[in-house]
Amino acid sequence: MTDDPVIRLRGATKRFRGASGVHTAVHDLTMDVRPGEFVAVVGPTGCGKSTTLSLVSGLEPASAGEVLVRGEPVRGIPAGVGYMFQQDAIQPWRSVLDNVAAGPRWRGTPKAQARELARGWVERVGLGGFEGYYPHQLSGGMRKRVALAQTLVNEPEILLMDEPFSALDVQTRGLMQDELLRLWAGSGAAVIFVTHDLEEAIALADRVVVMTAAPATVKASFDVPLARPRDVEEVRLTAEFLDIYREVWDSLREEVARSREQAVKAEGGRRVA
Amino acid sequence: MSHDAPDAGAAMAAAAQMTALRTPSDLDNAAAIAAAGTASRRRRAVVWTVRVAAIVAWLVSWEVSATYWIDPFYYSKPSAIWHRLVDWFTKGTAQGSIWTQIAATLEEAVIGFVLGAILGVVLGILLGRSRFLSDVCAPFIKAANAVPRIVLASLFVIWFGLGMSSKIATALVLVFFAVFFNAFQGAREVDRNLINNARILGASRTQVLTSIVVPSATSWILASLHAAFGFALIGAVVGEYTGADRGLGLLIATAQGSFDAAGIYAGMIITTVIALLAEWLLGGLENRLLRWRPPVAGAEAQI
Ligand SMILES: Nc1ncnc2c1ncn2[C@@H]1O[C@H](COP(=O)(O)OP(=O)(O)OP(=O)(O)O)[C@@H](O)[C@H]1O
Ligand SMILES: [Mg+2]
């Protein structure tokens, strides 16, 4: 395994034209992800985590700086990228099975074969029996699982996940986390996993990256030297886990507080104006 | 009461069998479904009774007042209209068999509808997805839409003659604008997330168009098709009214020429029935195509 990073952000900056002038969502962000590495990203709400993922996926071009995937500058969507969006993005007019089969179909797999693949993934995310349901007949958590299957069926080498499990109940979330780790271990994919749940971040990742309050840039990066394979439920209870948790939380807490201050200030500014 | 006994026995046996086969919650479900079915049937019966009563009251009061107070020469009356309809269908009209007239109008309306709808959908989606094209075309479309389209019927008679093509053209223009604006809006309001997701999953530009944009715009387009068939009929009838050798519009124009109020009403009624039939057919099509949509009032899925 070469250790050349598959994902490399060099001083990446993203600005948006907003209602009140130019808004910088991501500022001078530098980070690398090695092949097969699982990186969790945490940071205060609205700081620019989703924007960072959209830069890597090629959906948004960077305003400044470099975004490289496998050493190539990102122009358009790089091959082998899977991206599970924060918002619902499954097709309401397709059944669960056809939603999951959509990726392979678009990539040219024959229909019968695509459906066979999809059936396996629908089982794996625990939706067996719901193949013929339309999205409006599913719960929010079930729709998330459809999105997960839809992304994983393409067997991405680079997996971008934006708060994939935040809509799930605690038990299902635990199951899905274990399932994700199992699937990932066999795939060798590089993962960037955005979450608000610090426990989830530490339990899953090789490394936790803490982002600053808006505009986002990397504040600190913490290695998680917990042994694999991990059982998500059990690893939380170890002393090592708690040590890491305390360390990362100390770093994250300041940013969350800063983000709150910013929000209060912005609110005050609006009141005055 | 000895003859009751076998019945009761059979009922008991059936009940025993049912409880053996079904769990209590199945029984509850069955009972709830049956109760909901009865309630909705009763509601429907009441609605229909009130509707029929309203029509009867209206027709009777019209008939009575036309017989005693107002002049039926101008306002006609239900019995006269009925006789005219019976006449048309049994003996034919002054212009020939009534079926020929209906077939002519229907043919013009259907051809105009299909062509106008195809044109409207294709151009609507194209302009909806291309910022450049829509910027270029916007003023022209707005101007064309502002033209009083009924007047075009006269122009088309000059251009295409008294035959079918002038009516088809009128119907086409009316349908086109109704469908175009909806298709345009539908194509424009496609959820960005859906498109991004499809692109990430590997869809090409054409695949995004056919499997994301078109299905999202479908509910908009279908909604416009309902009204559009009505427009196609109006286009055909107005076209015939302006100048033709057959069709329902010609019947109405002839009736007007001879101060035959009953004839005008009879023509109106036939046109209305055709429009309602078409509406019913299109409704069926819409339900088939939009099976994926949640039921509007939630009436189907919950009890
Ligand atoms: N397309 C856009 N146009 C304008 N501004 C945008 C756009 N996308 C994001 N932003 C702004 O960029 C900032 C960062 O947004 P982003 O979605 O990346 O935050 P986030 O860290 O993912 O937040 P959360 O944790 O709540 O999901 C926000 O202030 C947002 O308003
Ligand atoms: Mg986000």
| Predicted pLDDT at A2 | 56
CATH number for the domain that contains residue B253: 1.10.3720.10
Q: Which of A160-174, A228-242, B5-19 has the lowest mean pLDDT?
A: B5-19
Amino acid letter for position A121: W
When mean pLDDT is compared across B1-10, B59-68, B261-270, the lowest value belongs to B1-10
B15 & B138 share domain: no
Task: Find the residues whose C-beta lies inside 6 A of ligand 1.
Answer: A 16, 18, 23, 25, 43, 45-51, 86, 214
Do B193 and A77 count as a contact with CB atoms less than 8 A apart?
Answer: no
The nearest CA of chain A is from the CA of B226 a distance in Å of: 21
Domain boundaries, chain A: 7-80+156-272, 91-155
Ligand 1: residue of A14, A49, A163, A198 to mutate (most ligand atoms within 8 A of CB) is A49
Residue B211 to residue A82, Cβ atoms within 8 A: no
CB-CB neighbors (< 8 A) of B290 in chain A: 93
Measured in angstroms, the CA of B202 and the nearest CA of chain A are apart by: 6
Mean local confidence (pLDDT), B125-130: 90
Give the minimum alpha-carbon distance from B221 to chain A in angstroms, rounded to a whole number. 15
For residue B292, the chain A residues in CB contact (below 8 A) are 92-95, 134-136
Question: Does the beta-carbon distance from B291 to A134 stay under 8 Å?
Answer: yes
Question: What's the pLDDT band for A270 if we cut at 50, 70, 90?
Answer: low
Residues B146 and B189 in one domain: yes
The pLDDT, as a whole number, for residue B13 is 47
Q: Do B212 and A59 touch (CB under 8 A)?
A: no
pLDDT of residue B26: 64
pLDDT at B45 exceeding the cut of 90? yes
Task: Give phi and psi for B101, each to the nearest 5.
Answer: -65, -45
Are A159 and A151 in contact, with CB atoms under 8 Å apart? yes
A248 CB contacts (<8 Å, ≥6 apart)? A42, A198, A201, A202, A208, A210, A222
Selecting from B191, B200, B212 the residue whose C-beta is nearest the C-beta of A83 gives: B200
Q: Categorize the per-residue pLDDT at B300 as very low, low, confident or very high, splitting at 50, 70 and 90.
A: very low
> Does residue B255 belong to any structural domain of this protein?
yes
- Asked if B54 and B152 sit in the same domain, the reply is no
Residue B299 lies in a domain: no
| Token reading at A63 | 């305003």
Percentage of residues in chain B having pLDDT higher than 70: 88
- The confidence band for B71, taking pLDDT boundaries of 50, 70 and 90, is confident
The total number of structural domains in chain B stands at 2
User: Binning pLDDT at 50, 70 and 90, where does residue B39 land?
Assistant: confident
Domain extent at residue B122: 78-289
* pLDDT (average), residues B148-176: 89
Q: Give CA–CA dist B185/B224, Å, rounded.
A: 11
Taking Cα atoms as reference points, which of B116, B130, B131 lies closest to residue B168?
B116
Does one domain contain both B30 and B123? no
Cβ within 8 Å, pair A151-B201: yes
B41 and B160 assigned to the same domain: no
Of residues B295 and A118, more confidently modeled: A118
Return residues with CB closer than 5 A to ligand 2 (ion): A 50, 86
With CB atoms and an 8 Å threshold, state whether B200 touches A102. no
pLDDT confidence of residue B24: 56
Rounded CA Rg of chain B: 27
In sequence order, the 6+-apart residues with CB closer than 8 A to the CB of B272 are none
Nearest ligand, measured from the Cα of A45: 1
Q: Where does the pLDDT of residue B223 fall: very low under 50, low under 70, confident under 90, or very high at 90 and above? A: confident
Query: A58: nearest CA in chain B?
Result: B200
Pairing of strands A72-73, A64-69: antiparallel
> Which chain B residues contact residue A57 at CB under 8 A?
200
Do B125 and B268 have their domain in common? Answer: yes
Residue A189, pLDDT above cutoff 70:
yes
Q: Does B135 touch chain A (CB under 8 A)?
A: no
pLDDT of A262 reads: 80
Element (H, E) at A183: helix A170-187
- Residues B32, B100, single domain; the answer is no
pLDDT value for B66? 87
Verify that B256 and B181 share a domain, yes or no: yes
Nearest CA to ligand 1 atom 15: A48
CATH of domain A7-80+156-272: 3.40.50.300
Same domain, B57 and B129: no
> Do residues B150 and B262 share a domain?
yes
**Please, which residues have CB within 8 angstroms of residue B113's CB and are 6 or more apart in sequence?**
B171, B175, B228, B229, B232
Q: Which of the residue ranges A17-21, A39-43, B37-41 has the most confident prediction, judged by mean pLDDT? A: A39-43
Note the pLDDT tens digit of each residue in B185-199: 999 889 999 999 999
Q: What is the pLDDT of residues A92-103, one digit of tens each?
A: 999 999 999 999
Contact between B148 and B85 (Cβ < 8 Å) = no
Nearest ligand to residue A41 Cα: 1
Q: Is the pLDDT of residue B12 over 70?
A: no
B36 & B113 share domain? no
The answer to whether residues B182 and B236 belong to one domain is yes
Relative to the CA of A14, which ligand 1 atom is closest? 12
pLDDT-above-90 percentage for chain B = 39
Per-residue H/E/C for A114-172: HHHHHHHHHHHCCCCCCCCCCHHHCCHHHHHHHHHHHHHCCCCCEEEEECCCCCCCHHH
